[in-house]
Amino acid sequence: MDEKIWKELLLKNDSKIVFLIMDGLGGLPRESGGKTELETARTPNLNKFAAEGICGVLDPIYPGFTPGSGPAHLALFGYDPVENNIGRGVLSALGVDFELTGRDVAARLNFCTLDAQGRVADRRAGRIATDLNEKLCEKIRNSVQLPPEVEFFIQTVSEHRAVLVLRGEGLGGLINDTDSQKTGVPPLEPHGADEASQKTAKYVAEFLKQVRELLKDEHPANFVLARGFAKYEPMTTMEERYGLRSIAIAQYPMYRGLARLVGMTVPPVPPTYDDMWKQLKENYDSYDFFFVHFKKTDSYGEDGNFEAKVEVIETVDVWAAQLRKLNPDVLVVTGDHSTPAVLKSHSWHPVPALLWSKNARADQVSQFGERSCSQGYLGRMPMKNVLLVAMANALRFQKFGA
Amino acid sequence: MDEKIWKELLLKNDSKIVFLIMDGLGGLPRESGGKTELETARTPNLNKFAAEGICGVLDPIYPGFTPGSGPAHLALFGYDPVENNIGRGVLSALGVDFELTGRDVAARLNFCTLDAQGRVADRRAGRIATDLNEKLCEKIRNSVQLPPEVEFFIQTVSEHRAVLVLRGEGLGGLINDTDSQKTGVPPLEPHGADEASQKTAKYVAEFLKQVRELLKDEHPANFVLARGFAKYEPMTTMEERYGLRSIAIAQYPMYRGLARLVGMTVPPVPPTYDDMWKQLKENYDSYDFFFVHFKKTDSYGEDGNFEAKVEVIETVDVWAAQLRKLNPDVLVVTGDHSTPAVLKSHSWHPVPALLWSKNARADQVSQFGERSCSQGYLGRMPMKNVLLVAMANALRFQKFGA
């Protein structure tokens, strides 16, 4: 649905919309005919919301497509995840709470090992410890000097991973990876695909030249490989788009960064689930839209730890019971994508979703699970639609046409 | 989903994807509350695949649209059936194994009977025997002479049906049917809607003039009617599009032609279902995608023969049991469209489908039928999506975005 169409239909009111997102929620059974993680978990509170609301299964991108976290969250926020695909470098910068500006180009860096002939011997430098990474970044920060018209920032992510940001006027992000994904060959030179990117590639080349000289006696990390160059393009905010003053209650940098990308307020990291509840309650009167993000369902899915993922879901179920006290106008509970423990990775399977609202037309689904949700009123729909349906249930749209 | 987007996500692996297509599979009950052809058929083997896999109902074109075989098959192959709509003439040429080039315009011909006043008395010339058709085509081939810059080819299909192909530079296919679909009136003159088609229409008019003179003493077929003029536009192949080396196991010319259109290998006609199995087995190691086509479900649907359609489905069910031996990574069983025996024609009803894969998230559907399939995870989706979901289950896509 084209933004232009709903823009004219927007209404403002005092309604509250809560999105409770369990990252990688969707799962698979361990054996044919068995239950998924969500179906295994004891979720009386979510089941009650499901029974009173409507359920469905959501395709984050398109049937059959496995999303990364970036596009999946943009779909949750109602943005077209294909039109608004974000470069990897930008996502990584968001992931370390880096405040990007419209003058920035970001890339992922890997510390790597070059052999005596300058060929890549290990693309991850043996996955060096994070504190060594921090020391090397500090060294680079203190020694590398670029021309005065361009600034650079380098920041540790974890292990061998770091982020590079170049800031200046007229930079471009259409630059190839210097990581050829192969060992036994030298790193590639950076080249730009248009004028702005060619200029930027020269700064990158200069940066790499100095880093190489600087780290030549380090071991095992004596160089860096860069990939995922991307220019940061500011997006329209949730408030501009939907009139929703929005806030993110999230512990992990990437999701905080994605929320910031669409203009949400992002208060300090809440260390525990109790803190997340407090943050939600304290800010409840000042916002319209609440993005509450639980990460561990995805982490355990990636680890292949079925039981631990089940336990996280059960913990979130208890947490969710408190939402009754806030009495939101609309509650959506879903994931950004599926991360079945049996696959140990994100997957293309549609994501179970429930939408609870006194204005929803409750369907017959009384359990929050993949199979049951597929029987609900929401049907199988693109994930980007769910925010529009939530807005409708919050009575934030007037009718289309007469 | 735009081809450009998934192109970058394609992975290659050794997975095997089998599409078992029963033409015109979808049906209707004979009386209100009764069972469809598929629901009536005893299909223990397909039911088992359904129970272990996911089910849904597919719209070949769009809800409410009745497709011809061409667009329906292109949707099965993952091509947008509207953007890639193929003219009837081209389809007929494909149907007789004619090798079209980018310089060709093709049309369907019917031998017909004109009365003494030159009015169409029988649009099908009493459905003349195929060997008479062949003799008449030979006669035309030997006698009709067009200007040197254009070649023509005429080929028998069966009974009164033939195909005409004009080959030359700058031809166009926007030419009206000369068959008005009525009797008691003269055939229409061919006219082109643009410059290229006007030029081509003149060649067609010259062709028809000579044929009329040549056949004037024949009986009952003393002329031809032309319809479905279309220029042949080569398409990207399944291999270019998806990286799938593809083969068609099909008995009928039209479907073999459609498979050839998208670049599939089409081995010689397998005369029996046993031969189809042999052809599948013999080629199993050399291809990634297997299009296996059963025609008779549609033929009996068109005849209004409910019981015979049921029997064909039961025969295919037994045939399908053998697929277990091949252990494909993904098996899709569906039709290209519905052909309910009670309607004696193609229809708009969505087509039941099952997708079986160890990576699918089995739903609760344990019977392969129209009503049961509508309860499955695949939901109701455009037919063109099913190949993408099959590719995902074959782990042939990397994730979208980071």
What are the pLDDT digits (tens) for B223-235?
A: 999 999 999 988 9
The reported pLDDT for the residue numbered A94 is 87
pLDDT at B107 over 90: yes
Contact A29 B397 (CB under 8 A): no
Tokens 């098959």 correspond to: B73
Write the single-letter amino acid at B145: Q
B69-76 and B88-95 helices cross at what angle (nearest 10)? 80
Q: Mean pLDDT over residues A153-169, rounded?
A: 96
- What pLDDT sits at residue A303? 94
Same domain, A76 and A175: no
- DSSP character at residue B402: -
Tell me the β-bridge partners of B58: B351, B381
Angstrom distance (rounded) from CA A146 to CA A153: 11
B392 and A348 within 8 Å at the Cβ level: the answer is yes
* Residue B148 within any structural domain of the chain: yes
Confidence of residue B97 (pLDDT cuts 50, 70, 90): confident
CA distance A93 to A87: 10
**A275 pLDDT more than 90:** yes
Q: Does A161 touch chain B (CB under 8 A)?
A: no
- Give burial (CB, 10 Å; 0-12/13-18/19+) of A284: middle
Q: Which of B17, B3, B25 is nearest to B79 (CA)?
A: B3
Tokens of A62: 């398109």
CATH number of B35's domain: 3.40.720.10
Mean pLDDT of A348-355: 98
pLDDT over 70 for what percent of chain B?
Answer: 100
- Which residues, numbered 223 to 262 in chain A, qualify as contacts with chain B under a Cβ-Cβ cut-off of 8 Å? 228
Question: How much is the average pLDDT of B173-188?
Answer: 96
Q: Which residues pair with B155 in a beta bridge?
A: B163
Shared domain check, B137 and B179: yes
pLDDT of residue B15: 98
Give A122-143 pLDDT, tens digit per residue. Answer: 999 999 999 999 999 999 999 9
Give the residue from B121, B95, B397 showing the smallest Cα distance to B251. Answer: B95
Establish, for the pair of chains A and B, how many residue pairs have beta carbons separated by less than 8 Å.
Answer: 104
- Of A254 and A284, more confident: A284
CA distances in angstroms from B215 to A176, B116, B135, B168, B207, listed in the order given: 67, 13, 11, 26, 12
Mean local confidence (pLDDT), B103-109: 97
Flag whether A90 is in a domain.
Answer: no
Instruction: Flag whether residue B325 sits within 8 Å of chain A, measured between CB atoms.
Output: no
Judged by DSSP in three states, A221 sits in coil
Residues A198 and A284 in one domain: no
Choosing from A231, A256, A291, the residue where a domain stops is: A231
Looking at residue B290, what is its pLDDT?
A: 98
My answer on whether B207 and B273 are in the same domain is no
Residue B99: half-sphere exposure toward Cβ, Cα within 13 Å: 2
Residues in chain B: 402
Residue B225 lies in a domain: yes
Q: Are residues B31 and B111 in the same domain?
A: no
**A89 falls within a domain:** no
pLDDT value of position A3: 85
Strand B17-22 to strand B351-357: parallel, antiparallel, or no bridges (unpaired)?
unpaired
Same domain, residue pair A352 and A206: no
Q: What is the pLDDT of residue B3?
A: 85
Q: Residue type for A32, please?
A: S
Residue A93 counted as domain residue: no
Is the minimum CB–CB distance between A376 and chain B shorter than 8 Å? no
Contact A188, A177 (CB under 8 A): yes
Token pair of B204, please?
């067609």
Three-state SS across B234-283? CCCCHHHHHCCCEEEEECCHHHHHHHHHCCCECCCCCCCHHHHHHHHHHC
Element (H, E) at B121: strand B120-122
Q: Is A28 on the interface with B (CB under 8 A)?
A: yes
Top pLDDT among A87 and B41 is at B41
On whether residue B402 sits in a domain, the answer given is: no
State which of A188, A216, A231 marks the end of a domain.
A231
Residues of B in contact with A61 (CB under 8 A): 1, 400
Residues of B in contact with A66 (CB under 8 A): 392, 397-400
DSSP three-state, residue A207 = helix
Does the structure show a pLDDT above 90 at B313?
yes
Into how many domains does chain A fold? 2
pLDDT at B94: 87
CB contact under 8 A, A380 and B379: yes
Query: Token pair 């003058």 is at which residue?
Result: A103
Q: How many of the other CB atoms lie within 10 Å of CB of A205?
A: 15
Extended strands (E) in A251-340? 289-294, 330-334
Residue B400 lies in a domain: no
Instruction: Find the Cα–Cα–Cα–Cα dihedral B93, B96, B98, B100, rounded to 10°.
Output: 30
| Beta-carbon count within 10 A of A286 CB | 9
Does the CB of B1 have a partner CB in chain A at under 8 Å? Answer: yes
B364 CB within 8 Å of a chain A CB:
yes
Give the torsion through C-alpha atoms of A154, A155, A157, A162, to 10 deg: 10
Give me the pLDDT at residue A32, please. Answer: 84
CA–CA separation, A154 and A135 (whole Å): 11
**A31-87 residue pLDDT tens:** 888 999 999 999 999 999 999 999 999 999 999 999 999 999 999 999 999 999 888
* Alpha-carbon gap: B234 to the closest alpha carbon of chain A (Å): 27
Computed over every residue of chain A, the mean pLDDT equals 96
- Amino acid code (one letter) for B173: G
Residue B254's pLDDT is 87
The span from the CA of A389 to the CA of A377, in Å, is: 12
CA distance B293 to B274: 13
Residue A278 and residue A211 share a domain: no
Nearest-CA residue of chain A relative to B357?
Answer: A32
Whether B73 has a pLDDT exceeding 80, the answer reads: yes
* Alpha carbon separation from B4 to A82, B11, B233, B242 (Å, rounded): 11, 14, 20, 11
- For residue A85, the model assigns a pLDDT of 87
Cα B218 versus chain centre, distance: 33
Residues of chain B contacting A69 with CB distance shorter than 8 Å: 401-402
Q: Work out the pLDDT band at B60, boundaries 50, 70, 90.
A: very high
Q: What's the rounded mean pLDDT across residues B171-187?
A: 96
Instruction: Report the C-alpha gap between A6 and B126 in whole angstroms.
Output: 59
> What confidence tier does B361 reach under pLDDT thresholds 50, 70, 90?
confident
Helix (H) or strand (E) holding A253: helix A253-261
For residue A253, what pLDDT is reported? 86
Q: Give which of B146, B180, B140 is closest to B166, Cα–Cα.
A: B146
Domain end, chosen from B206, B231, B256, is at: B231
> Do B361 and A346 count as a contact with CB atoms less than 8 A apart?
no
Average pLDDT over chain B reads 96
Residue A116's CATH number: 3.30.70
Based on the fold, state whether residues B314 and B195 are members of the same structural domain. Answer: no
Over residues B215-230, the mean pLDDT reads 96
For the record, the structure tokens of A344 come out as 């140990």
Q: Is the pLDDT of residue B20 over 90?
A: yes
Q: Is the pLDDT of residue A292 over 90?
A: yes
Residue found by looking up tokens 């994501």 in the block = A351
Q: Which helix (H) or strand (E) holds A95?
A: helix A88-95
Tell me, what's the pLDDT at B167? 98
What is the mean predicted confidence (pLDDT) over B32-47? 97
User: Which residue's structure tokens are 């896999």?
Assistant: B53
C-alpha span between B36 and B373 (Å, rounded): 13
Residues of A with CB below 8 A from B377's CB?
57, 350, 370-371, 374, 380
Residue-level pLDDT at A33:
84
Q: Do B362 and A33 count as a contact with CB atoms less than 8 A apart?
A: yes
Range of the domain at B322: 3-84+236-393
CB atoms < 10 A from the CB of A272, how many? 9
Q: Which residues of chain A does B10 touch, with a Cβ-Cβ cutoff of 8 Å?
A: none
Q: Does A37 share its domain with A69?
A: yes
Residues A66 and A104 in one domain: no
Please check whether residues B208 and B161 belong to one and the same domain: yes
In a domain, A246, yes or no: yes
Give yes or no: residues B200 and B248 share one domain: no
Whether the predicted pLDDT of B44 surpasses 80: yes
User: What tokens does A86 get?
Assistant: 């974000």
**Pairwise CB contact (< 8 Å): A349 & B361:** yes
